[in-house]
Amino acid sequence: MSQPHELHVAAFAQKIAELAEAGSYLVAERNGGIVGHALLEPAGSLAALTHVRTLTLVVHPGNTGQGIGTALLSALQEWARASTDVQRVELRVRETNAAAIHLYKKCGFAEESRFHRRVKLPDGTYLDDIGMTWFPVAREAKK
C-alpha cells in the first residue's frame, strides 16, 4: 500500500534493529535482488498486548505467484511457533487481494473483522481491509 516516496532506507534499518529483540524481519532475494520481505512486529507497547504480533508480507510486483509469499510466511510462522512470547498473529489485507487472502487461509489464518472503506485509492474509491488472525499451534493446545 506504500507509495515509493513513503519508503525510506533509514526507516527499514531502524525497523530491522527494533525487531532483533521482539520480532522477526525476513528478506527474499533472487539473483542478488530483493523480491519480497515480511515481518512480525509487536502490536504495541502495552503489557496486555505483548503476546500479539502484527504481520506484514510484501511480494514485489512481477514476483507474485512464485512461492515467495508462502516461503516468507512459513518461515515467520515457524519463528512464531518457537517463540514462547507469541500467542496471536494478526494482519490486514485488502479485500481485492484474492491471492493473499487465499495464502493466509491456506496457512491457517481466519477472517476476524472488516474495516470498511479503510483504504482510499488515488482515484477516490475505497476498499475494505480484512482483519485476519492466526494462533500458533503450540499455544492453541494450552487453552
23: pLDDT strictly greater than 60:
yes
Q: Give the whole-angstrom CA distance, residue 19 versus residue 5.
A: 23
Length of the chain measured in residues? 143
Q: Beta strands 126-134 and 110-120: pairing type? A: antiparallel
70: pLDDT strictly greater than 60:
yes
Residue-range definition of the domain harbouring residue 66: 4-140
- CATH number at 135 reads 3.40.630.30
**How confident is the model at residue 12, as a pLDDT?**
59
Q: Beta strands 88-94 and 52-59: pairing type? A: parallel
* pLDDT confidence band for 139 (50 / 70 / 90): very low
Counted domains in the chain: 1
Q: Give the whole-angstrom CA distance, residue 93 versus residue 110.
A: 12
Model pLDDT for residues 36-51, shown as the tens digit of each residue: 999 999 998 899 999 9
**How confident is the model at residue 13, as a pLDDT?**
63
Strand order in the sheet with 52-59: 24-30, 33-42, 52-59, 88-94, 126-134, 110-120
Average pLDDT, the chain: 87
